[in-house]
Structure 1
Amino acid sequence: MNRHRLLAEELARVDVRPVRRATDRRLATLLAASLTVGLLAAVAALPGWATAAPPPARAAAAPADPPAGPAGDPGDETPPVEPTPTEPTPTEAPPTLPPPPETTAPAPTTTGPAPSTPAGPADPPTTTAPAITAGPSAPTTTPPVRTSAPGPGAPAPGRLGVRVSTDDVVLTDAYWNAAQTTTTLRITVTNTGDVAEQVRLSYTLPAGLTDAGTAGCAPAEGGGHRCGAWTTAAGARFSTLISVRVDGDAWRRMPLSGAVRVSATAPGVAGAVDDNEGFAVLFPPGPPVPGIALRADGVAFDISGSASELAVRLGNTGKVDADGRIEVVLPDGVTIPAPPAGCAALSATRTRCDVGAVRAGGAAALRLTVSATAEAQRDAPLAGAVVGRLDPRSGQARQLQMSFRITAAAAMATPIATPAPAGSQGVLAAAGGRPGGGLGAAQRATVALIVISVLLVVLALALATVSLRRRLTDPSGGR
């Protein structure tokens, strides 16, 4: 009996704290491991989340129609609409002629490099031998050697590229003495790719202008025209003339601008490329009225796209003083953000300025700061209009109006895209995500890693809390 009592006392004196310490060490180790795994998983998931969700591309806003003004006032013209290729395409291309000399080299691009070395004559840029007024120019240069070549024995893939440039429809003083005027619009096309291409042309004329029967072109839906295709060699550059008829009252709708677009494809090369440029219809001051003179300089935006300046001069060539007034009418996307003193905005595109008394034989000068959106600069050249008015103290008021040219370096620097899948910019930019706005596979995996990490941390904290409570409530925890 005494032996059993002694054995019980010995067991009671045994120190159990090492066992509890070992348990606490295991819990601390589990907690540290869970926290480490959670942090590593979260850090690894963050870069994947950033790359899996690219920022959405900016959707291009469709230009709105300009506000309709009173009949006979500038600003009544509706911007041209690109033709819809639904009608049969002409089988012949328009006649070609030698291009004008290049004053400056085209802006360098990554997909359609400018040629650099002389080359021999090229094939005529026609597919079905249309009536040619002058032989097409031979390519003056050849593209530079590609920096990356395919493996031995593999043919180099072709690369497409095309550029279009336009002159303006410039009317002389003879326009004011004719019921209608027939003139030409010169368009110059350059194959900036390294393969022979099929190049097609389409153009849209503004209100008051109609096609005068250009060979190889036919009307299309939307008020535009489509032309047959040329076959152009790599580096070839040529021009064509579009015959247009200007109505005798078209000046009432100024400013007027049109649009030209070219597209290029090649056998064996996937996709297509295109380029577009606008053109302005420039009217001289008129209708002629004695006693008043008007002049407006053009507006030019540099490559930075910052605001430019418009200079207008209203002259009084009469024999009496008169109060002067100048109105400026701009195309969509071009505005006068801060009219100076004496000027007020009548609408988003029309500004009126009172220049005060203009002495006989004198003139009033006006300078306005003009800004333009990126879309408007890419559509340049565009046209604006100014209206000058003199109101003498005695006699009838005199008024003249004319148009001026708006150019932008951004239009010349527009990159020529490589062939790409057909689709809007918004669709192409969101290739990493789901079209409905949900999560893609990479995003779901990221979310799963983060959730697992959080659960591990919570589990470790729960185990540590339970262990701490046991130690606090166990009467023998302090032994």
Structure 2
Amino acid sequence: MARVDVRPGRRARDRRAVPLLVIGLAVGLTVTATPGWATAAPAVARVASPTTEPAEEPGGDPPTADPTEPGPVPTEAPSTTAPPPESPSPPATTEPAPTTAAPEPPLPTTAAPTTTGAPPPAPSVPPVRPSAPAPTQPAPAAAAGVSVTTDDITLTAGYWNAPSTVTTLRVTITNTGATPARIRLAYTLPAGLTDAGTGGCAPVGGGEHRCGEWASAPGARFSTLLRVRVDGDAWQRMPLSGSVRVTATAPGVPGTVGDDEGFAVLFPPGPPVPGIRLDAEAVSFDISGGSSGLDVRLGNTGRVDAEGRVEVVLPAGVTVPTPPAGCTPVDPTRTRCELGTLAAGRTAQLRLPVSATPEAQRQAPLAGAVLGQLDPRSGRAKKVQMSFRITAAAALATPVASPPAPTGSQGVLAADVPAVGDGGDGSVRRTAILLIVISTLLVVFALALATTSLRRRMAAPAAGPSTAPTE
């Protein structure tokens, strides 16, 4: 009788090849079409990992004083006053001044700061790839920032008639951050100057003074007046300069930000002596570090001729690099110039080039001093001296917005949020590439398997009835 060749082994292989082909194609196409799945999970783990490290408690109250600082720090801040009008044309590197149409931000109070709500969240970090679903990342906290500017202590001619003079130093503070902040003030007075009873401030030694804390709203700008006493003999120590520093902390933002600026103590020409006149112009450094030079004028207003002499005393870091004819350096900060004979009623004018180190320019405003002397042929020598101001564009160009690491910029601290493209992305990319390669190999293997199976089926002879030999 006839038998049919059913070939069970081949049919079993064909039945197994179809499911394998379908599964391989599905896995390969799914992984290839959605490679962002390979990067989403590692990215979340990287962002969340910093929370396991010890850090300052968010929203915690900052310490009222450094434990190593000598002396108590007042708990109340100095009184505030309206700030001076802002410059109509601030430098391009500083924060733009608000328009006059904008409402004036509220002045901070001297009361204890109140706890504020959480700052508004910033936009989330974009996904690693456009085709991948956006990974869940915490929004960075609002940045904290602060800046300070100072006036100078400028004394009038009445200083020469008093044993001491009490004056004020205006300090203007701006909250440049995007969150409420707690701001502290500290200042250093040079020798010959003491605090005259500024409320909310106390000396801590070495001319250093610390003040209480303000609660400041974002964008708030206010001034405070420091009462300073200038001794009657402080002029003998000129040039004199001091400095002011502010620090700020914000709820939920770890660390402290700060800014500082110097101020000059400017004495009028004196002590008054008849027959001599002295005048000196301010020195300014542009953004490139070049100086306008120092112009000094010594006048003989007496009735007899006299030999004229001028000495220029500069602060540390400021020098006369190439003294003009008739001038010789006495030491790195002092230059002496012989002017020759000045006839009665005549004035000699002198111009000296001045240079300064970058550090000295950042500490500006500073003060220098000029000493003038006339020696007549008969009679006592006439001496008078005065101070002049030194400014630098580099001090104004120092940015008040900066990351926690030192820059220079002074004045802003942002929360630490991992950025896309840092060193941790290397392993993520390697994992994604590995998965894509594996999925591609699976697709190739599935296609090869399907092709082989089809070729075998096409090459096999058609199954039909066969006639078995009869016995």
Length-normalised TM-score, structure 2? 0.65
> Number of residues paired by the alignment?
327
Distance in 2 separating the partners of 1:298 and 1:423 = 29
Contact 2:342–2:348 (Cα < 8 Å) also in 1 = yes
Distance in 2 separating the partners of 1:337 and 1:324 = 22
Q: 1:268 to 1:368 in 2, by over 3 A?
A: same
1:90 aligns with 2:64: no
3-state SS, counterpart of residue 385 of structure 1: strand
Distance in 2 separating the partners of 1:121 and 1:290 = 50
Match of 2:337 among 345, 348, 353: 353
Deviation at 1:149, TM superposition (A): 2.6
Q: 1:421 to 1:357 in 2, by over 3 A?
A: closer
Q: 1:104 to 1:270 in 2, by over 3 A?
A: farther
Contact 1:271–1:421 (Cα < 8 Å) also in 2 = no
Partner of 2:326: 342
Bigger radius of gyration, 1 or 2?
2
Deviation at 1:162, TM superposition (A): 1.0
Q: 1:117 to 1:173 in 2, by over 3 A?
A: closer
Deviation at 1:378, TM superposition (A): 0.3
Match of 2:124 among 135, 138, 150: 150
Contact 2:239–2:387 (Cα < 8 Å) also in 1 = yes
1:160 aligns with 2:134: no
Residue 260 of structure 1 aligns with an amino acid whose one-letter code is V
Match of 1:241 among 193, 204, 225: 225
Deviation at 1:281, TM superposition (A): 0.4
1:418 aligns with 2:402: yes
Distance in 2 separating the partners of 1:196 and 1:117 = 22
Distance in 2 separating the partners of 1:153 and 1:172 = 60
Measured against aligned partners, the alpha-carbon deviations of 1:25-50 in whole angstroms (never above 9, x if no partner) come to xxxxxxxxxxxxxxxxxxxxxxxxxx
Distance in 2 separating the partners of 1:333 and 1:263 = 26
Partner of 1:402: 386
3-state SS, counterpart of residue 380 of structure 2: coil
Distance in 2 separating the partners of 1:331 and 1:364 = 24
Distance in 2 separating the partners of 1:106 and 1:86 = 39
Q: 1:186 to 1:172 in 2, by over 3 A?
A: same
Partner of 1:128: 111
1:393 aligns with 2:393: no
Distance in 2 separating the partners of 1:107 and 1:150 = 32
1:203 aligns with 2:193: no
Partner of 1:227: 211
Distance in 2 separating the partners of 1:283 and 1:294 = 12
Deviation at 1:220, TM superposition (A): 1.4
Contact 2:362–2:392 (Cα < 8 Å) also in 1 = yes
Distance in 2 separating the partners of 1:117 and 1:149 = 30
3-state SS, counterpart of residue 331 of structure 2: coil
3-state SS, counterpart of residue 354 of structure 2: strand
Deviation at 1:410, TM superposition (A): 0.5
Contact 1:180–1:245 (Cα < 8 Å) also in 2 = yes
Residue 150 of structure 1 aligns with an amino acid whose one-letter code is S
Residue 274 of structure 1 aligns with an amino acid whose one-letter code is G
Deviation at 1:233, TM superposition (A): 1.1
Distance in 2 separating the partners of 1:394 and 1:120 = 67
1:274 aligns with 2:248: no
Contact 1:294–1:315 (Cα < 8 Å) also in 2 = yes
5+ unaligned residues in a row in structure 2: which ranges? 1-67, 114-119, 126-135, 410-471
Deviation at 1:103, TM superposition (A): 1.8
3-state SS, counterpart of residue 175 of structure 1: helix
Contact 1:198–1:232 (Cα < 8 Å) also in 2 = yes
Deviation at 1:183, TM superposition (A): 0.4
Contact 1:312–1:367 (Cα < 8 Å) also in 2 = yes
Deviates more, 1:268-277 or 1:100-109: 100-109
Deviation at 1:355, TM superposition (A): 0.6
Partner of 2:58: none
3-state SS, counterpart of residue 412 of structure 1: helix
Partner of 2:317: 333
Partner of 1:193: 177
Residue 305 of structure 2 aligns with an amino acid whose one-letter code is D
Q: What's the C-alpha RMSD, in Å, of the aligned pairs? A: 2.8
Partner of 2:132: none
Distance in 2 separating the partners of 1:149 and 1:196 = 19
Residue 307 of structure 1 aligns with an amino acid whose one-letter code is S
3-state SS, counterpart of residue 371 of structure 2: strand
Deviation at 1:102, TM superposition (A): 1.1
Deviation at 1:292, TM superposition (A): 0.3
Length-normalised TM-score, structure 1? 0.64
Contact 1:258–1:279 (Cα < 8 Å) also in 2 = yes
Partner of 1:301: 285
Measured against aligned partners, the alpha-carbon deviations of 1:127-152 in whole angstroms (never above 9, x if no partner) come to 4179xxxxxxxxxxxxxx99x83269
Residue 214 of structure 2 aligns with an amino acid whose one-letter code is W
3-state SS, counterpart of residue 339 of structure 2: strand
Contact 2:316–2:333 (Cα < 8 Å) also in 1 = yes
Partner of 2:154: 170
Contact 1:273–1:417 (Cα < 8 Å) also in 2 = no
Partner of 2:270: 286
Deviation at 1:124, TM superposition (A): 3.5
1:311 aligns with 2:295: yes
Measured against aligned partners, the alpha-carbon deviations of 1:244-274 in whole angstroms (never above 9, x if no partner) come to 0000000000000000001111111122211
Deviation at 1:126, TM superposition (A): 2.3
